[in-house]
Structure formats: structure tokens, C-alpha cells
Amino acid sequence: MVNVHYVFDPMCGWCFGAATLIESLSNNPEINLQLHPGGMRERAPIEDSFRQHILAADQTIADQTGQTFGQAYLDRVASDQPVILDSFITAQAILAAQQLDGQGAEMLKRIQLGHYQQGRSVYEADTLAELASEMGIEAEAWQQAMKGAEHDVMPAVNQTRQLMAAHGLRGFPSMLVEQNGQWQAITVSQYYRRPDAWQALWQTLTQA
């Protein structure tokens, strides 16, 4: 079993670009994927003057990663509708889902799709509850898990920052492999649009 530490932010566009790579790891029985949320933004509205920059950056991400940004999301950013980025309540939801049968990676995927493809307000607790319901999580269990995870968010974010500092990681997404007492950084961006190379990398690492 290989321990893989994934440093990310739910509201990071490049992390959405890497989503298919991460999903393949979460589905690999030889890999223990550990999620480390970064705490990039706390309930931060996108200013009107910054919206065109966001759209241009998203186009760059799409071009380089092959990921698709949904029309509902693009229309929302281009309009006068509010777009609020909240790394903390989304991280809370991921931690809550992880407590419920280890579904953190699936919740991250749902949040990213909800935001970047469906244009949903993933900064709202009700929307996150809808995502949990779509995953088959019962409402009462979800509310209890969210309540418990509320106190875990800042410790998790602080742990992520310490991990990044200790290993010289800069920005999101970042990744570390912990194996046989050794740590190795993986440059995720080298594998955008290279799924075969990504699979070959992990086949080599899991057989080491």
C-alpha cells in the first residue's frame, strides 16, 4: 500500500483540472489517498473587475488539462450573479464525507463538478447537503458529520500548511508519495493530458 498525500483546494481551478488524475488514484486499491485541504479562500466573492481574468484563466486550464468547464458555470461568472469561493465550508464537507465511509474524494469530485460544471452555489450548506444526498448519505447522518467536521477544518488546514512548508511545496495541486519511510514529490502538472504516463507512474510506484 502506497500513501499518497494530495494537497489541494476545492476552489482551485487547477485542482479541478487534475480531477480525473485524482479520481484514478482514489479508485486504485493499492493507494491510500490522503486529502489535505489548503484553505485558499474564506467566503470570498469574486469582484466584477476580476471575472474576465477568471474566465481567461479557466480557458488556460481547459486547454492544458482537457478538463471541461460547464456553460452554467461560465455564464454565472460572466453575469452579475454572485460567485463566492469558500475553501473552508467545502473542506468541512470533504472531511465530513471522509468520516462517512471514507467518501472524502467523492465529495471533492462532487463539489468540483457542482461548481465548475453545474454552476451551483457550493458555498451554501444546503447545496452541500444536496450533494451528500446525491451520494446516498442520509440527511441526519450528514448534519451530524458536518457538525463534527466544523472543528476539524482549521487543524486540517494548518496541518496542510505545515506539510507544504516541510517539503517545500508551493501552491495547489501538490502531491507527495510516502513509501518505505521516504517522501517523494510528484509534479501533477507533468501528467495533464497524459493518462497513460500517469497510470504507468503509479504502476511502478505500487510495485516498488
Q: Which residues pair with 36 in a beta bridge?
A: 7
pLDDT of the residue at 35: 99
Residue 49 CB neighbour total at 10 angstroms: 7
The CATH number of the domain covering residues in 2-206: 3.40.30.10
pLDDT of the residue at 88: 98
Q: Does the pLDDT at position 142 exceed 90?
A: yes
Q: Quickly state the pLDDT bin for 137 (edges 50, 70, 90).
A: very high
pLDDT of the residue at 208: 77
pTM: predicted TM-score of the whole model, two decimal places: 0.96
Long-range contacts of 28-34 (CB under 8 A, 24+ apart): 28/202, 28/206, 30/1, 30/2, 30/202, 30/206, 31/1, 31/2, 31/4, 31/202, 31/206, 32/1, 32/2, 32/3, 32/4, 33/4, 33/6, 33/105, 34/3, 34/4, 34/5, 34/6
**Cβ atoms 128, 122 nearer than 8 A:** yes
pLDDT of the residue at 205: 96
Adjacency order of strands within the sheet including 2-8: 31-37, 2-8, 174-179, 182-186
C-alpha cell, 60:
488556460
pLDDT of the residue at 101: 85
pLDDT in tens, 45-77: 999 889 999 999 999 999 999 999 999 999 999
- State the Cα–Cα distance between residues 13 and 94, nearest whole angstrom: 17
- Per-residue pLDDT averaged across 87-107, rounded? 97
pLDDT in tens, 173-203: 999 999 989 999 999 999 999 999 999 999 9
Kindly state the DSSP code that residue 155 receives in the 8-state scheme. Answer: H
